[in-house]
């Protein structure tokens, strides 16, 4: 018998064409942990208006970022998995996706059949929120095998130091006026109902800056990106924040995205293309991005150490 580790990321369309993107978006946007509207109201709107209009447009974005290895998010998750497996040779290390494949439930069951008597599940999101984690928890528990789920790792000093080192390297490479910590947004209603995400994002920023005393807090701001739908989400919205910085005369901006550990549509298309264009159109000069963890071996080693710690009962945020 051996211990298993399952790394879970969001997922990606199987290909960047419109039918595949439509299939992916239908699954993603049908998740009531993501969109909490009643099904009787949401599903006709989703299938009748949103998917026909959004799928082809999203497909063009995926085509912009697609590589010879496929989806960057999937490719980097695969690299992380291989690196973590090398760091934990006696474990069975695999990956799964919340939407698309490999599926969480069937992968966990396959790992149990392959001899894993207990598996650590690590969602690849530093901060917990219902819209990402709850579906992972439900799918993992549905496998009905022994598991421990790590709910978040934003508070881990090693993670904060790794992110601080990446930020410092980028900060020192050019003369910037401001740093924006941009997190993926969630609806304000989730926070009102007790979701700890906004608090954990603030704690992430504070924790990283603790290791960067040379950076003045006056040069740092926080924003939220990737808003979807008409309901209010966490503010300030990144696009508005970038325009506000230009108005304040801060035209050279460094963007760091702590809620993403791998490059994906949000970092490669939304930030590097769409938000960059908005920033430049309003008078900004430079908008550079600190790369996510991606294939950094140090981050994969952190994930391996985190799994060992969770397996030993050393994490206070795990769900059994």
For 172-187, the pLDDT digits (tens) are 999 999 999 999 999 9
Same domain, 269 and 312: no
What number is the average pLDDT over the span 15-41? 95
Same domain, 67 and 149: yes
Q: Is 182 annotated as a binding residue?
A: no
Both tokens of residue 100? 């698309």
Q: Is 266 annotated as a binding residue?
A: yes
Same domain, 149 and 238: no
What number is the average pLDDT over the span 58-87? 97
pTM of the model: 0.96
Same domain, 19 and 131: yes
Q: In terms of residue numbers, what domain contains 76?
A: 2-154+297-319
Write phi, then psi, for 276 (nearest 5 degrees).
-60, -45
Same domain, 183 and 74: no
Same domain, 7 and 60: yes
**Beta strand ranges found along 143-234 (DSSP E):** 147-150, 178-184, 220-225
Same domain, 146 and 168: no
* Predicted pLDDT of residue 317: 65
When divided into structural domains, the chain yields a total of 2
Same domain, 139 and 173: no
**Beta strand ranges found along 226-290 (DSSP E):** 252-256, 286-289
Same domain, 219 and 308: no
For 85-111, the pLDDT digits (tens) are 999 999 999 999 999 999 999 999 999
Same domain, 199 and 76: no
* Predicted pLDDT of residue 316: 65
Same domain, 201 and 134: no
Same domain, 18 and 140: yes
For 33-63, the pLDDT digits (tens) are 999 989 999 999 999 999 999 999 999 999 9
- Burial of 169: CB neighbours in 10 Å, binned 0-12, 13-18, 19+: exposed
Write phi, then psi, for 170 (nearest 5 degrees).
-70, -40
Confidence at 314, pLDDT banded by 50, 70, 90: confident
Q: Is 55 annotated as a binding residue?
A: no
Q: Which CATH number does the domain housing residue 32 bear?
A: 3.40.50.1400
Sequence-distant (≥ 6) Cβ neighbours of residue 74 within 8 angstroms: 9, 11, 12, 97
User: What strand order describes the sheet that includes 252-256?
Assistant: 220-225, 178-184, 252-256, 286-289
């Amino acid at each position: 018998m051996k211990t298993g580790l399952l790394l879970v990321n969001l997922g990606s369309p199987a290909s960047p064409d419109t039918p595949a993107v439509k299939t992916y978006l239908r699954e993603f946007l049908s998740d009531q942990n993501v969109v909490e509207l009643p099904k009787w109201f949401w599903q006709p709107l989703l299938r009748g208006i949103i998917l026909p209009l959004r799928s082809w447009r999203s497909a063009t974005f995926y085509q912009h970022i697609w590589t010879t290895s496929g989806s960057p998010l999937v490719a980097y998750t695969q690299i992380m998995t291989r690196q973590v497996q090398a760091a934990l040779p006696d474990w069975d290390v695999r990956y799964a996706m919340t939407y698309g494949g490999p599926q969480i439930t069937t992968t966990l069951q396959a790992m149990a059949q392959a001899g894993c008597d207990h598996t650590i599940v690590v969602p690849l999101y530093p901060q917990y929120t219902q819209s990402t984690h709850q579906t992972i928890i439900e799918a993992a528990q549905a496998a009905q095998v022994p598991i421990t789920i790590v709910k978040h790792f934003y508070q881990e000093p090693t993670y904060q130091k790794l992110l601080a080192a990446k930020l410092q390297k980028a900060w020192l490479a050019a003369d910037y006026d401001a740093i924006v910590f941009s997190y993926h947004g969630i609806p304000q209603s989730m926070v009102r109902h007790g979701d700890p995400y906004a608090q954990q994002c603030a704690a992430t920023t504070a924790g990283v800056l603790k290791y960067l005393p040379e950076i003045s807090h006056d040069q740092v701001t926080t924003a939220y990106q990737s808003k979807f739908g008409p309901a209010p989400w966490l503010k300030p919205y990144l696009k508005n924040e970038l325009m506000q910085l230009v108005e304040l005369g801060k035209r050279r901006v460094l963007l760091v995205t702590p809620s993403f550990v791998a490059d994906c549509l949000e970092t490669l298309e939304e930030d590097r293309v769409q938000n960059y264009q908005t920033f430049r159109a309003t008078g900004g000069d430079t908008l550079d991005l600190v790369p996510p963890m991606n294939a950094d071996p140090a981050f994969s080693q952190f994930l391996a150490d985190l799994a060992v710690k969770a397996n030993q009962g050393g994490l206070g945020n795990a769900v059994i």
